[in-house]
Chains A and B, each alone.
Chain A
Amino acid sequence: GAGVSQSPRYKVAKRGQDVALRCDPISGHVSLFWYQQALGQGPEFLTYFQNEAQLDKSGLPSDRFFAERPEGSVSTLKIQRTQQEDSAVYLCASSSGDSSSPLHFGNGTRLTVT
């Protein structure tokens, strides 16, 4: 079937605007992860869902970041009042289960805050 789909592919926001990034995981995958990747760096963990439950949000940089997965499928990462330091690629990944299952990544959303 189809892989992980993210939209939009690119997003330019003016400082202070709110943005919403969408992730459509592989059908049936219970685990969903959001990562932030700055230029030249590795992916940094943001948050993790198991079905609709957000089990870990320890990586969210501030209370301006909010993620949801209300029906256990599609997830949205929302960033309120964007700042320049929020500029990065936001990667979504899904997996079928536990730590022995590989993560399948989407192509990411490149966010640029001007």
Chain B
Amino acid sequence: QQPVQSPQAVILREGEDAVINCSSSKALYSVHWYRQKHGEAPVFLMILLKGGEQMRHEKISASFNEKKQQSSLYLTASQLSYSGTYFCGTYDYGGATNKLIFGTGTLLAVQP
């Protein structure tokens, strides 16, 4: 089951804050966050582990609520370079495989 992200898209002015949410219908043991710029490959931002601490990448931080099966990405004082599509990823522990399933994506556009 693909994780669901909200919002689908957000437009910000430089310096504004944003929150991107990722919800799963399955129990979560870890959540990955990636950013993909247009025409480029997804780039790893951070991993949150069950029972782990809130993580940070520059001015981007994330939290993980195991009980609610949710993760949130917080972008503070956004910069133009933050523009792109953000994907969360959760592992589907089925059988012998550990496959990372990506969420529905959130398009973030930061304007001057």
Contacts and interface: CB of A to CB of B under 8 A. Distances in A.
A108 B41 contact: yes
Nearest to B46: A102
Interface in A69-114: 91, 98-100, 102-108
Contacts, number: 60
Interface string B19-51: 000000000011010100000111110010100
A98 B42 contact: no
Contacts of B100: 33, 45, 99, 103
Given A42-B104, A43-B42, A43-B102, A102 B47 contact: yes
Interface in A23-50: 33, 35, 41-45, 48
B99 A42 contact: no
Interface residues of A, number: 23
A37 B17 CA distance: 29
A29 B53 CA distance: 26
B1 interface: no
Given A99-B29, A105-B41, A106-B41, A42 B96 contact: no
Interface string B37-71: 00011111001010000000000000000000000
Interface of B: 2, 29-30, 32, 34, 40-44, 47, 49, 85, 87, 89, 91, 94-105
